[in-house]
Amino acid sequence: MNLASQEKFNQLQIISAPFAGLLYDVDGTLADNIVAHKAAYAATAAEYGITLDIDLIDETAGWPTVAVAKEITKRYQKDFDILEFAKRKSAVFIERFVNETQPIDFVVSHLKSNQGLKKIGIVSGGSRSTLDITLGVIDVHGRYETLVCAGDTPLGKPSPQPFLLAAQQLGLRPEECIVFEDGDPGVQGAISAGMAWVRIDQL
């Protein structure tokens, strides 16, 4: 880590010290892959005859892919199968973009340094199959006690449901957990769940 990353790592250590549970988002938090995900969304949308305004992906950061697909149908007044779109987007990301993923060094180092010391959960709006690959690429796979992803709860972020399920699976109360996020939907979910939170992109 460079000096700036080391300082951010130190901040995370101080902020998270009182908490028993650490809940991490993946895309944009542990994994530097937002540009790759945007490219996959744009490429998939193009297959459906849509020139995607990529700002939509920033607005919906943390949403499950099917929810983003539904938003695309509304914005562009296109009628397509959102589940099929989501599957195709995941396939495009894996086929063409996943290997471009880099770890966000100070967040991944924070997770690794707390492995075995605190209970660790991954809470993401991504599909389990895509997350398994991404977490493998950044050397985080298996370094956590629970993984909550798209479809594990009736509602995804910004609902508190994914965070509450992760806490339950870790055997912790919400107030014992802190959430690491890079987008507003995740922060809204953490607040609604009664958890502390950090925007890693604002450190």
The domain that contains 87 carries what CATH number?
1.10.150
pLDDT of residue 99: 86
Number of domains in the chain: 2
In degrees and rounded to multiples of 5, residue 159 shows phi and psi of -65, 150
Tell me which residue range forms the domain holding 48. 34-99
CA 57, CA 29: separation in Å to the nearest integer?
A: 15
Element containing residue 17 per DSSP (H, E): none
My answer on whether 18 and 49 are in the same domain is: no
My answer on whether 58 and 25 are in the same domain is: no
CA 94, CA 133: separation in Å to the nearest integer?
A: 8
My answer on whether 61 and 94 are in the same domain is: yes
State whether residue 196 is helix, strand or coil: strand
Give the residue from 168, 142, 120, 123 showing the smallest Cα distance to 25: 123
Low-confidence spans in the chain with pLDDT less than 70:
none
Q: Which residues, in sequence order, are bridge partners of residue 199? A: 181
Dihedral of CA atoms 63, 1, 115, 28 in degrees, nearest 10, equals: 0
My answer on whether 90 and 107 are in the same domain is: no
Query: Which of the listed residues 78, 99, 120 is the one where a domain comes to its end?
Result: 99
Query: Which of the listed residues 69, 99, 129 is the one where a domain comes to its end?
Result: 99
pLDDT of residue 82: 96
CA 1, CA 54: separation in Å to the nearest integer?
A: 30
**Position 36: which residue type?**
A
My answer on whether 176 and 195 are in the same domain is: yes
pLDDT of residue 68: 94
My answer on whether 197 and 130 are in the same domain is: yes
pLDDT of residue 64: 87
The residue to which tokens 């908490």 are assigned: 19
My answer on whether 143 and 123 are in the same domain is: yes
